[in-house]
Structure formats: C-alpha cells, structure tokens
A and B are shown apart, each in its own frame.
Chain A
Amino acid sequence: MSNKIPPIEVHDLTVAYRKKPVLWDIDFDVPEGKLIAVVGPNGAGKSTLIKTIMGLIDPVSGKILVYGKPVDRERPRIAYVPQRESVDWDFPISVYELVLMGRYSHLKLFHRPGSNDRRIATEALEKVGMSAYANRQISQLSGGQQQRVFLARALAQQADIYLMDEPLAGVDAATEATIFELLRVLRDEGKTVLVVHHDLQTVSGNFDWVMLLNLRLVSFGPVEEVFTAENLQKAYGGRLNILTQVVELAREKSFVRESGHE
C-alpha cells in the first residue's frame, strides 16, 4: 500500500480527569506497519492515550485521525485489546463466543454473525493456540489464556491497526513468547501495532519503535535511537539509577540474543 496517510495522527492532544491533566499537549504521527511499544511510569497516561485514540475518552482539546478520518468512521479497521482486568471473567459466555465479538464491528444493526464470521473466529482461536478451549466458559481460563483469547478476539476483527493495553501483563514466559511472535506476524502482514508495555527489559529486540510517555510525550521513534538512558530518565524521573542499569542489562541481553540468532 502506497498510502501516504498515517494510520494514526494525534495533534495537540490534552486529556484531563477532573480538571487534572493526564495527557498534556501530545502530538505525533504513527508510522504504518511498525510494532510500537508505549512505555512510561504508572499514571503516565498510557492507557488513557489508547482509550482516547479509540474515542472512549473525550479529550479537552486536540484532534485524532485514523487514516485521515475521525475514528467513528474507521471502527472496523482499528481493534482494541483492553486490559485483562477490565472485564468480568465470570460472564456467562464461552471462549468462542467472546472471540466472535471481534466480528461485531463488521456487522450492521440486527445482523447476526454468519458462517464467514464463524470461520474467521475459529481461525483466530487456532492462531493463538486456544482451539481446544473454544467451548469452555471464560471463567476457566488462566491469566495467560485470557490474554491469548483477548488477542484472538482482536485478530478476528481483521483490523489494520491494533491498540493493545498491556497484553503481556501477568503471562508466563511461554505465553509471552507466543504473543511476541503473534505481534511480529501482524507487523509482517503490514499491520500497525501499538502496545502499552510495562517491561522495559523486553523492549529492545521485540519492538521497532518506542514511545516514552509521562504526561507529555518524552520521545517517540525507532528503538535504537530513542530508547536511551537519557530519555528514560526524562520519562521516569527519580528512579533513574535502577533504570539505567535495566537499560544496560536489556541492551546486553538483546545484543547477545541478536548475535545468537545470526
């Protein structure tokens, strides 16, 4: 696609919660086909940013465009993966029914999911390795399985942009590897993937770009240029010392890993 319009444009965005700013004067364009980590300390506004892009929170000021249009006109093309804790896992539906919800953005009012939607949902479950659980009630899933099912639901939407809120929170190492692999596959298919991420150690080597956020946009660019101790200090403030060490360690690790692959 030689589409020059960026998948997401955010201009002069300010979001406040009870008159206290949560995001301040944010301005950026998201490049197409990149796997992007959004990092920052607790309360930096990472989830708020994603929710505001999805139109779930009204900003105080600013403009957000998805493929050059307001998000409401491009809903089927943008998939949202909420935080795992945001829903009631005792809700009476099966894993398969939950994944099928991803198709709803393509269905008009009064329309039921058809055989094509069912096939796509089944394939999405296969992709995350959860086919065996299709008929289980969702309360029977472990934390990692819940994340996989949420991912399958987003895959079923067949969107072009994926906004994910901590899809790697509370998962074991095996699930983490599976999810990273899935994210890479999405990226290789040309999709744009924005991931709110809490683990600084896994940024290098797994993501193409990184956004450092703390109320303001500290830095946004390719990981090798932007993911520096200096920028992390700006984003995380006082807890610098530990963080510098984390970055050093992470870099060493990813260096070892990358050279190991070659």
Chain B
Amino acid sequence: MITSTFWILLTGSLAAASCALVGSFLVLRKQSMMGDAISHAVLPGIAIAFLLTSSRNTFPMLLGAGAFGLITVYFTEFLHKRGRLLHDTSMGIVFTSLFAFGVILISLYAAQVDLDQECVLYGEIAYIPWDLWIWNGLNMGPRPVWILGLVLVLNLAFVGFFYKELKVYAFSPEYAASLGIPVGLVHYGLMGSVSFSTIASFESVGAILVVALLIVPPATAYLLTEKLKPMLILAMATGVLSAVSGYYLALFLNASIAGSIAVMTGVFFLGAYLFSPSDGVLTRRYRKTDALPEPDEFAVL
C-alpha cells in the first residue's frame, strides 16, 4: 500500500499548503473567522451543484462553492454597513443561515445524491486513492490530487502576481485605497481563493477541520518570523508537516486522519508559542536580558 500512502500524504500536503498560503492573509487582515464562515457557507453551493449535475463532478462544485463564498463575504459586508451590526455579528448571521440551508438541502435530497453530512463535515482522506480520474481510458491518479494541485497553482499565481497589492492591503486597506490600489478586487480575489481552497480541501479534511489548516499554520508562522515572505513559506511548510505527521499519528492511534492533522497543527503552534526565537514564552523566560514581560501582558493581568 505504498502508493495509497503516497496519495494520501500528497493530498493532505497540497490541501495544507493551499490553505496556509491564503490563510496567512486572513490572519494578517484579522479576518481569521472569515475562513470559518466561508468553509461552512459554501455547503449550499456544493449541494446545489450536486443536485443540478447529479454527480460528484468537481468543477460545478468549485463554481457553486466559489459563488457562495463570495455571497457570504458580500452579505457580511452588506449587513455590517447597512444593518448597523458589528462585523463578526453579521458574519455569524450570514454563515450559519447559509450552512443551515445547505444542511436542509442535503437532508432533503440525500436519497438522490451520493453525499452525506458526515463526509462534508469531516472529510475522508483515506478513500482518496480510490477516487480516480480516468481520462480517455487512462488512469491519471486520484482526482482530488489534480484539483488540489490546480488550486495550489492558482493560489500561488494570485499571491505572486498581486504580492505588492496583497501586502499593502493586508497592512492597511485604507492606505492601500489611498494609493489607488483596487482594494475591492484584491479583497474579493482573496476571499475567492479562500473559497476555492476550502472546497478543494473539503473532501480530504472536511468543512470543520479545513479551518485549522487555514488559520493555525499561518498563526504558527506569524510567531516565528517578522517578515512577510518567510511567514508565507513557513506557514505552508508547517501545514505540510502537520499533514504528514498527522497521517502517521492517525496510523499510530488508529484514529481519524483529518482529526490527527488538525491536532498536529495545534502541536506545532504550541511549539512555536513556547520556543519561538523572538517571542517564545519559554525562550523569553530563559533569556536573562529580556526578563521583563511585554507591556501588553500587564494589561491582561
């Protein structure tokens, strides 16, 4: 079963790298929970794509999910601006409603379509080696690997081409707008990339644990470096490491692979929190010259 292990590891790594790359900008924009909202709110998009095509064809699903991802972002901002609600409140309203709508759709038509709530919520990475893409009679390997590979390339292209725009937008959208940078385009581009990454990672790790891949590796990298490019690279590396080590943890414990991957992202985060060369809690304690806590820690006390 060496090949099936290889495919599982590759799938997990691709998903982790895609999510970490775009998730880094969510973390820096202080919109981490937007990842949570989008990953849930895309459910009706997937369900509708399923019902319309009555197949597990990925491209309609990507389109449906992308559309609902952007709808979530748009309605959240609409309620925030017009409904005089705080940003997180309006987000909470929009994504729970959309998610519930998706749950109803799936439960109503579950008999017709091969889609169950368990799979959507938790994913099943272990079946990926058998989800093959047969093209002109040729076995091209697992379909999710292709999809995730495509999404990773798209994300890398997006970040590569719009690097300076993303950087100044993440630092301050207002200042970016004052420079004439198309902030709306960058914002919706980023949210679109988050939607695509979420849906593509869905099958492997599920809607809930995809949030861990979006947020935890970038947060870990944020603690480890003070520069943007190293942060992006470290985030992707931590994500891949979590996917690989999570898989073996799952084998060892005979437990859920997706759950183990998410646990490993947390383990790496804890490691960075304790041992980061610049801000680590233990590093600081054992460094004599820097014994005083930061001023903001006083505020917590």
Q: Chain A: residues with CB nearer than 8 A to chain B?
A: 18, 51, 54-56, 72, 75-76, 80, 82, 86-88, 91-94, 97-98, 101, 104-105, 107, 109-110, 112-113, 137, 139, 157
Flag if A91 contacts B180 (CB, 8 Å).
Answer: no
Residue from the list A55, A88, A113 in contact with B164, Cβ < 8 A: A113
Determine the residue in chain A with the shortest Cβ distance to B229: A92
Determine the residue in chain A with the shortest Cβ distance to B171: A91
Which residues of the partner chain B approach A93 to less than 8 Å between Cβ atoms? 167, 171, 227-228
- Measured CA separation A144–B180 after assembly (Å): 27
Flag if A82 contacts B225 (CB, 8 Å).
Answer: no
Known: A56-B174, A113-B164. A91 touches B179 (CB 8 A): no
Flag if B171 contacts A87 (CB, 8 Å).
Answer: yes
Minimum C-beta distance from B234 to chain A (A): 10
Minimum C-beta distance from B119 to chain A (A): 37
- Measured CA separation A98–B174 after assembly (Å): 14
Known: A101-B168, A107-B164. A80 touches B227 (CB 8 A): no
Kindly state whether residue B290 has any CB partner on chain A within 8 Å.
no
Flag if B180 contacts A75 (CB, 8 Å).
Answer: yes
Q: Chain B: residues with CB nearer than 8 A to chain A?
A: 28, 30, 84, 161-165, 167-168, 170-172, 174-175, 177-181, 222, 225-228, 231
Does more than half of chain B's interface fall in helix, strand or loop, or is it mixed?
helix
Flag if A80 contacts B175 (CB, 8 Å).
Answer: yes
Residue from the list A80, A92, A139 in contact with B231, Cβ < 8 A: A92
- Measured CA separation A98–B179 after assembly (Å): 13
Minimum C-beta distance from A46 to chain B (A): 16
Residue from the list A101, A109, A113, A137 in contact with B171, Cβ < 8 A: A101
Known pairs A91-B170, A93-B227; list 4 more (Cβ under 8 Å): A72-B180, A75-B179, A88-B28, A92-B231
Residue from the list B84, B164, B170, B231 in contact with A18, Cβ < 8 A: B84
